[in-house]
Amino acid sequence: MQTVFKIFSLTIIMIFCLFKIGHAVELTPFSVRNLSPAALVHGLAIAESANVLSPGEKMGQLSFDLVNNATSDQNSKETIILDGETYIGTLSIRYGVSERIQIGLDLPYIHHSAGFLDHFIADWHDFFGLPNGDRNRFPDNQLNYSYEDANEGLNINSDESGFGDLRASLVYQLFSGTKTSYAIRFSIKAPTGHAEKFTGSEAWDTSLALMTQYEDSLSSGNYSVWAGIAGNYLGNGEFLADRVNNLVANGWLGGGWSPYHWLGLKIQLDSHSSLYDSKLKELGDPALIMTLGASFALSEKTILDLAFSEDLNVEVSPDIAFHLSLKHTF
């Protein structure tokens, strides 16, 4: 654990050294979602900027999410245990086709593990007075993702890794003014992951999102607010297929303030309707997630995001998630 904090401290020191370069930060949404094992296999729309790239412009983004889960529930027909850690690395590519059209691809790599953060997160929750869920009922650092009902069962209790579901997207810019932008995004998720590894649903999913963003300046810096709402179709694959809700809505609302040209402080709320027809809260309730963090301008075209997420509707999304992304525009 000491090694982890040393690496984190060194990263922060390096970031502050780079601040002297003096580049301007871009205030855009966090590309986060519900990464519970039962949710990450589906292709819900993800928050993204309502501004498209210029024709011929390219953007590459590497993101890493560390997710810790600790919850369990049962009723007369169903039992679920989600105890473990999941690490997701995602490569995202965007390309500006024309003044109004942008295309993109996202490919995640997912690793489920027993992890190492259970004790740290319990202390984190105690310090901030946050609920610990079922964390005290489980041994530290074990992996047990399982679900069972009368018709099917899913379970992993040893490390599993693999590529997740590939996503392709097309964004059309409806309007782009000096302060306000609107865009629609259509995305499709291909079944390249595997249900038995909890890396995909083995179904085709689609989503259609309307996104908006407003930017302006203050006497003490710049600010931006953004929002989006989406409708999603989730196919019946091999992951709890009998219980999947085919039509799901989700949305996001966030904002950021840049007190210095190299720094942006951001907050974002993400939510979605229930993903499954289930009486278990982990599956059958809507999610509400709050993400807090910051963006740092490392160069003229390179932005680093650091953030963490908390489950405001406890047990529906991960207990806590840490998000890091590095974005560069070419």
Give me 91's structure tokens: 């490569």
DSSP tag of 317: B
- CB 114: neighbour CB atoms within 10 A? 17
What pLDDT sits at residue 10? 52
- 216 CB-side CA count, 13 A: 5
Secondary structure of the chain: what % helix, strand, coil (to 5)?
10, 50, 35
Contacting residues for 177 by C-beta, under 8 A, at least 6 apart: none
What per-residue confidence (pLDDT) applies to 11? 53
The whole-number pLDDT of residue 132 equals 65
The closest alpha carbon to 66, from 324, 269, 315, belongs to 324
Please tell me whether residue 286 adopts helix, strand or coil conformation.
Answer: coil
**What's the pLDDT at 14?**
53
C-alpha to C-alpha distances, 189 to 5, 39, 186, 274, nearest whole angstrom:
36, 14, 10, 19
Domain that holds residue 80: 2-329
The answer to whether residues 292 and 264 touch, using CB atoms and an 8 Å cutoff, is: no
Q: What is the pLDDT of residue 212?
A: 98
Torsion of the alpha carbons at 15, 19, 25 and 29, rounded to the nearest 10: 20
Count of structural domains, the chain: 1
DSSP 77-88: S-EEEEEEEEEE
pLDDT value at residue 3: 47
Query: Quick check: 145 and 155 in contact, CB under 8 A?
Result: yes
Distance CA 127, CA 67 (A): 19
Is the pTM higher than 0.95? The answer reads no
Cα 294 from Cα 190, distance rounded (Å): 31
* Per-residue confidence in pLDDT tens, the chain, 330 aa: 444 444 445 555 555 555 444 567 989 999 999 999 999 999 999 999 999 999 999 999 999 999 999 899 999 899 999 999 999 999 999 999 999 999 999 999 999 999 888 777 777 767 777 666 667 777 888 999 999 997 888 999 999 999 999 999 999 999 999 999 999 999 999 999 999 999 999 999 999 999 999 999 988 889 999 999 999 999 999 999 999 999 999 999 999 999 999 999 999 999 999 999 999 999 999 999 999 999 999 998 999 999 999 999 999 999 889 999 999 999
DSSP letter at 284 equals H
C-alpha span between 34 and 29 (Å, rounded): 15
- The answer to whether 55 touches 97, Cβ cutoff 8 Å, is yes
Residues with Cβ within 8 Å of residue 58, at least 6 apart in sequence: 93, 94, 95, 96, 329, 330
CATH number where 15 lies: 2.40.160.40
CA distance linking residue 38 with residue 8, whole number of Å? 29
Q: Residues 263, 25: contact at Cβ < 8 Å?
A: yes
